[in-house]
Amino acid sequence: MTIRITRRAVLGASAAFAATPAVLRAQQIFKDYPFRLGVASGDPSPDGFVIWTRLAPDPLDQHGGMPMAPIEVEWEVARDENLRDIAASGTALARPELAHSVHVEVAGLEPGRPYWYRFNIGRERSTRGKARTLPRVGASIDRVRFAVAGCQHYEDGYFTAFRHLAEEDPEFVFHYGDYIYEYRSSPLRIGWDGRPRTFVRAHEGQALYDLGDYRQRYAQYKMDPDLQMAHAAAPWFASFDDHEVENNWVGLQDQQDTPPELFALRRAMALQAWYEHMPVRRSSLPGQNGIADYRRARFGGLLDLHVLDTRSFRSDQPCDDGFKTVCDGVRDPQASVLGEAQERWLFDNLQNGGARWNAIAQQVMVMPLDRRTGDEPEEIRNMDSWGAYDVPRERLLQQLRGKNAVVLTGDEHQTFAGELRTDAGEGEAVAVEFVTSSISSGGDGADVRNGADRIAARNPFLKFTGDRRGYTLCEVTPENWQSAFRIVRSVTTPDAPIDTLATATVPAGESALIVG
Ligand SMILES: [Fe+2]
């Protein structure tokens, strides 16, 4: 006998849940509030954006406390913050295949304005989020103001900086990755300064390997109220770096010489969990062969934002990875950071875009920094950065020349600002780079990191360094690009105030930085 469950006749039919692909309407099936992971919006276009939530009344449970059946969720998008003037609404399915996440690609909205959104199931309502459509393509706009953030190790510190970011009301957020860290809970770690690190909270579970592991880690991070505030405040352009999968992975290679066909399985599960928890479009859904998540957003004629993937298509790190003495591999003419297709896509965009400014929004540092902090005889570079890929880096720099290009980077857990010069940093300045610190990774940091003076002396293209946690707030006009390095002095104590460490200005038409 086949039992058919209509939407109204769900309750009491739990025995049939497993066998019947019914769509459940979910009034009373939750044992707790289903929107505990908050809401998010992302990937705006001139006529819409993605709105996201994930139903998880019991977030750390294997399936978030959800029955293994699709659940219908209502959504609404309004022109006003009280959600009275509804511009669009509908229903979406939260499917067990995607951990009951919901990604609605809202369309048909007006360009260049804010909207507010919410999800509902029966009487349960999510918190309200604020999103924003992009301006019309080519529109003349005089300003865009946005934040850059990433690297949020949960154990290392509170996400207080995210709360301040939300309060700044940016138009959007670029997240450069390390949204989660894949490690198990750390009993003890020694910091850069040689002292034991303080952990303010602990990861649940072991190191992440399978889909359930990654889902649980996202759920743990997403319960953080400061992170939820930052998502609710503005649409994000989410990208990933290494720790969404495993430290310093590239392509199908991890750091433990796992057979590539096995690492491919772990990578696929990690990227599925990333997709499930990020407000990204269906085009970023990973498949058996990886993910296509590089994309462009255009802010009228003022700014083109090129969001890159510097992990999936990269050739293996030279010189055995890590901070190493430069070896021949750094000059390998076959090496690649973006892979052929992404590189061609980016260079075409740069050649044909025509925007006043180009932001290259990506993960690892482009400046080929000499990392020597002592009397080491030979140059040391970070082999996991563009600094270890001389040929692709010079190719990129040639394309950035004359494009008012600003590279936005993370990964380093420090602030760096400098000029991007050709010929391994010794030639002509063709662009600038802002490396944003971290939300919490690395712990409190210091006013000056050990060896910072040596790094500055050996790298004259580097104009500023800082070792506190925070984010970057960028304000772009036709005349200037201004980046304020916003920092908190402590992430190991709650509620630290926000401060500006320094502000760097790039005048249009010049690849130079004025730091004040
Ligand atoms: Fe990181």
Give me ligand 1 centre to Cα 180, in Å. Answer: 9
Average of per-residue pLDDT across 124-147? 96
Find how far residue 403's CA is from the centre of its chain. 24
Closest listed residue to residue 298, CA positions, set 233, 237, 372: 237
The whole-number pLDDT of residue 191 equals: 74
What is the C-alpha to C-alpha distance for residues 280 and 111, in angstroms, rounded to an integer? 19
Give me ligand 1 centre to Cα 322, in Å. Answer: 14
Give me ligand 1 centre to Cα 376, in Å. Answer: 26
pLDDT surpassing 70 at residue 276: yes
Give me ligand 1 centre to Cα 177, in Å. Answer: 7
Give me ligand 1 centre to Cα 397, in Å. Answer: 25
Give me ligand 1 centre to Cα 244, in Å. Answer: 10
Average of per-residue pLDDT across 195-201? 85
Q: With 0-12 CB in 10 A as exposed, 13-18 as middle and 19+ as buried, what is 393?
A: buried
What CATH number did the domain enclosing 224 receive?
A: 3.60.21.70
Q: How many domains does the chain have?
A: 2
Same domain, 102 and 148: no
* Confidence band of 16 (pLDDT split at 50, 70, 90): very low
Q: What is the β-pairing status of strands 114-121 and 124-125?
A: antiparallel
Same domain, 276 and 230: yes
Give me ligand 1 centre to Cα 501, in Å. Answer: 20
Boundary residue ending a domain (132, 154, 186)? 132
Q: With 0-12 CB in 10 A as exposed, 13-18 as middle and 19+ as buried, what is 60?
A: middle
Give me ligand 1 centre to Cα 436, in Å. Answer: 11
The whole-number pLDDT of residue 359 equals: 98
The whole-number pLDDT of residue 330 equals: 98
Average pLDDT for the chain: 93
Give me ligand 1 centre to Cα 14, in Å. Answer: 43
What does the chain come to in residues? 516
The whole-number pLDDT of residue 30 equals: 84
What CATH number did the domain enclosing 120 receive?
A: 2.60.40.380
Q: Which residues contact 279 (CB under 8 A, 6 or more apart)?
A: 40, 41, 42, 43, 49, 50, 51, 52, 103, 231, 235, 236, 238
pLDDT tens-place string over residues 394-412? 999 999 999 999 999 999 9
**Is position 19 within any domain?**
no
Give me ligand 1 centre to Cα 29, in Å. Answer: 38
Same domain, 264 and 394: yes
Give me ligand 1 centre to Cα 509, in Å. Answer: 32
Give me ligand 1 centre to Cα 438, in Å. Answer: 7
Give me ligand 1 centre to Cα 446, in Å. Answer: 17
Same domain, 210 and 325: yes
Same domain, 356 and 334: yes
* Percentage, residues of the chain above pLDDT 70: 94
pLDDT surpassing 70 at residue 14: no
Give me ligand 1 centre to Cα 437, in Å. Answer: 9
CB 512 within 8 A of CB 429: yes
**Is position 510 within any domain?**
yes
The whole-number pLDDT of residue 289 equals: 84
The whole-number pLDDT of residue 22 equals: 56
Other CB atoms closer than 10 Å to residue 206's CB: what's the count?
Answer: 10
**Is position 229 within any domain?**
yes
Same domain, 390 and 493: yes
pLDDT tens-place string over residues 405-456? 999 999 999 999 999 999 999 999 999 999 999 999 999 999 999 999 999 9
What is the C-alpha to C-alpha distance for residues 282 and 50, in angstroms, rounded to an integer? 9
Give me ligand 1 centre to Cα 300, in Å. Answer: 32
Closest listed residue to residue 172, CA positions, set 146, 201, 196, 136: 146
Same domain, 89 and 163: no
Domain interval for residue 66 = 39-132
Find how far residue 49's CA is from the centre of its chain. 17
Average of per-residue pLDDT across 248-253? 96
**Is position 192 within any domain?**
yes
Measure the CA dihedral 395/397/399/403, to 10°: 180
Average of per-residue pLDDT across 319-344? 97
Instruction: Compare 178 and 187 and report the one with higher pLDDT.
Output: 178
Boundary residue ending a domain (132, 158, 174)? 132
Give the predicted TM-score (pTM) of the model.
0.94
Boundary residue ending a domain (91, 106, 132)? 132
pLDDT surpassing 90 at residue 9: no
Write the CA distances from 211 to 178, 182, 273, integer angstroms: 17, 12, 7
* Percentage, residues of the chain above pLDDT 90: 89
